Structure 1
Amino acid sequence: MTEGVVPSGRAPFGERLAGVFETFGQLSVGIDPHDYLLDAWGLPRSASGVREFGLRVVDAAAGRVGILKPQVAFFELYGSAGFSALEDVLAAARAAGLLVIADAKRGDIGTSAAAYGRAWLEPGSPLEADAVTLTAYAGVGSLLPVFELAEQAGKGAFVLSATSNPESFALQTARASWGGEDLSLSGLVAGEVSTFNRSATPGPGGVRAAVGNIGLVLGATKNLTDYGIDRDALAEGPATPVLAPGFGFQGATFGDVRPVFGALTATTVVAVSRSVLAAGASGLASSIQNQAIELNDALAATR
């Protein structure tokens, strides 16, 4: 067991994610306190401002959606006070029963990777979340300490594979040889994550979860075939969970979910942020509720 890990006794992340989908649907709300949003909400550009912003999003989301995704950079901007503010927001989200994906995009090797894992996934950590986003530029294998901790603690992770930004194309579609195959770098990352999910220790009674605990970040603005992503293979048990940015301000619509993600639709977290946050503090709750309904309707219409 990874040093310092306290067994949580909680269900695996993939199982909990599937439960949230069943209860609340697949919408995730971002906590992204951009300067212009702080201004519009009448909050200061400070640690106290991002703390209040985050707590208001938690209050508005509770009971309407099941997943929050705080963007760590906007809290890190204010140093130790910003991280203290984030700790308060994460604690409030846990208390509200929300599943939290910390969008921290961490990645390193060896003990440094393990330390990142402990910071974001270890039960009792001040920054404890249910899952964390990771980068694999040092190789997917460098993230194994985080994957293993996630398995032990009932947590998850999402590894960047085909991101929503236009600058990603050249690097993420570059070719690499792995296991005797010629793959894109995006496909290589996806394949290694899928392999880890298949090799992870089955749960109680030897039962393997239908949804894996380690997922991928796949942008909703992309043609995943262009990035070398085999959606059907990734959907085979245990299915790979997907964190999908790119909706709203980046151009993707809820009607794009099934065409873009295909067989992975059922395990896709649909991430929105500015498109709901722009409603302001007074309109946030109704904006979240409306978008959750719109997403459910769009998925039902495209079945």
Structure 2
Amino acid sequence: MTVGNGNGAGPSVPGFGDRLVRAVADRNSQIVLGIDPDPARLWPAAVESTSEARARLAWTLSDAEGAAGDVGGAAGSAPAAPGVIARLESAAAVLAHCLALIDAAGPACVAVKPQLACFERLGAPGWLALEHVCAHARANGLLVLADGKRGDVPVTAAAYGQALVGDTPSPFGSVPGLEADAFTANPLLGRDALEPLVKAARARSAGVYVLVRTSNPGAADLLDARLETGERLWERLATLVHELGKGGGELADVGAVTGATEPEHLARLRELMPRTPFLLPGIGAQGGEVGALAPAFAPGRAGGLVTASRSIANAHEQIGGPPPEAARAQAERLRQQAWDLG
């Protein structure tokens, strides 16, 4: 990930909006590969060949253990925590599945979007698997959008920012975070809770995608509610996102999550956020259609990123054939559909 200087000094560093425009042009794609691994629903061939994934996790754990010994001295062997073997084996299978998915569908995509909860539920081995997934995606030329929908009071928001894109100072040196190129954020705690996240991202030339009008049916319960001003809540959030965004190029560095399942809102969203990059979840399994998303691309091809998860990973269940080939075909089909919208 390109690192900014954080204070405006020194040579100019492209902001996230500029990086996104360049990546979309280089990859000829606006498709984001959602990575939401379900340990009970992995590609069989990947589960049957987890040796490389297991070795990756073991090497990372061994390196960490060795480093801890160098810092604090040997402390003796401690018994394994209950469930650690099950977590490690599950994380290895998940990692093998995700690596195979990236290899299959990644060439048709511009980014991956790992759902953090799908890895966090496996404990420490799950987070290690996530780090290896992100590294593999970057090695394949893909941006990494960490989907955690973080949002908390300012001091905690700053910690979330360090965890996802920055470094954490410590007595033992700087601790690197996930080094994502962007992440999702929940705005419902207000501007002061968003600002530390935006600051952390901006210092690393990363981006923040703020939830504005999400793809789930229950979003209407709150986000469509009318405020005293007469505007809907998502319209107020859109105005906030527009105000937070910076960048002198085609796109701002603060984006919006705008669900593809409610395309009738896209024209108004684009009116309120003319230079904001949109992240468009809900294609495929949730019922969204690429052809309805044209307003998202008004600022240019990078103005909208179309994200698909289950419809790519589970494409073999619909069209048959080996999972990697079906995923590759589905990702390419979506890429062409989105690209044809201009």
**What's the TM-score, normalizing by structure 2?**
0.74
Call closer, same or farther: CA 1:108–1:285 in 2, change over 3 Å. farther
Match of 1:125 among 157, 176, 181: 176
Structure 2 SS opposite 1:46: helix
Call closer, same or farther: CA 1:75–1:136 in 2, change over 3 Å. same
Aligned residues between the structures: 282
Deviation track 1:162-197 (CA, whole Å, cap 9, x = no partner) reads 1111011020011235xxx54211111111110111
Structure 1 SS opposite 2:256: strand
Match of 1:56 in 2: 100
Structure 2 SS opposite 1:183: coil
The CA deviation at 1:231 is: 1.7
The answer on whether the counterparts of 1:140 and 1:189 sit within 8 Å (CA) in structure 2 is no
Match of 1:156 in 2: 207
The CA deviation at 1:42 is: 5.4
Structure 2 SS opposite 1:30: strand
Match of 1:249 among 265, 268, 285: 285
Equivalent runs, 1:260-271 vs 2, <5 Å:
261=296, 263=298, 266=301, 267-271=303-307
Match of 2:269 among 230, 233, 238: 230
The CA deviation at 1:38 is: 1.6
Q: Structure 1 CA distance, aligned partners of 2:328 and 2:135?
A: 21
Letter in 2 for 1:263: A
The CA deviation at 1:286 is: 5.7
The CA deviation at 1:95 is: 2.3
Structure 1 SS opposite 2:298: helix
- Structure with the greater alpha carbon radius of gyration: 2
Match of 2:185 among 134, 145, 159: 134
Is 1:291 equivalent to 2:291 in the alignment?
no
Structure 2 SS opposite 1:215: strand
Letter in 1 for 2:191: V
Q: Structure 2 CA distance, aligned partners of 1:211 and 1:228?
A: 17
Match of 2:47 in 1: 43
Q: Structure 1 CA distance, aligned partners of 2:124 and 2:216?
A: 29
* 49-58 vs 107-116, greater mean Cα deviation: 49-58
The answer on whether the counterparts of 1:71 and 1:103 sit within 8 Å (CA) in structure 2 is yes
Call closer, same or farther: CA 1:81–1:253 in 2, change over 3 Å. same
Q: Structure 2 CA distance, aligned partners of 1:65 and 1:223?
A: 22
Q: Structure 1 CA distance, aligned partners of 2:277 and 2:298?
A: 11
Is 1:216 equivalent to 2:256 in the alignment?
yes
Structure 2 SS opposite 1:173: coil
Match of 1:13 in 2: 16
Residue segments in structure 2 that go unaligned for 5+ positions in a row: 7-11, 49-88, 168-174
The answer on whether the counterparts of 2:261 and 2:286 sit within 8 Å (CA) in structure 1 is yes
The CA deviation at 1:28 is: 0.8
Match of 2:80 in 1: none
Q: Structure 2 CA distance, aligned partners of 1:41 and 1:186?
A: 43
Match of 2:308 in 1: 272
* 38-47 vs 154-163, greater mean Cα deviation: 38-47
Match of 2:117 in 1: 73
The CA deviation at 1:70 is: 0.7
* 94-103 vs 52-61, greater mean Cα deviation: 52-61
Runs of 4+ in 1 over 6 A off after TM superposition: none
The answer on whether the counterparts of 1:254 and 1:295 sit within 8 Å (CA) in structure 2 is no
Match of 1:165 among 198, 213, 216: 216
The CA deviation at 1:57 is: 2.3
Call closer, same or farther: CA 1:264–1:192 in 2, change over 3 Å. same
Match of 2:142 among 95, 98, 105: 98
The CA deviation at 1:74 is: 0.7
Call closer, same or farther: CA 1:230–1:30 in 2, change over 3 Å. closer
Structure 1 SS opposite 2:250: coil
Call closer, same or farther: CA 1:104–1:274 in 2, change over 3 Å. same
The CA deviation at 1:22 is: 1.3
The CA deviation at 1:127 is: 1.5
Structure 2 SS opposite 1:48: helix
Q: Structure 2 CA distance, aligned partners of 1:285 and 1:155?
A: 32
Match of 1:144 among 172, 184, 195: 195
Match of 1:205 in 2: none
Deviation track 1:32-61 (CA, whole Å, cap 9, x = no partner) reads 112442265552871112221222223234
The CA deviation at 1:96 is: 2.2
Q: Structure 1 CA distance, aligned partners of 2:135 and 2:221?
A: 39
The answer on whether the counterparts of 1:87 and 1:126 sit within 8 Å (CA) in structure 2 is no
Q: Structure 2 CA distance, aligned partners of 1:57 and 1:126?
A: 24
Percent of paired sites with the same residue:
34
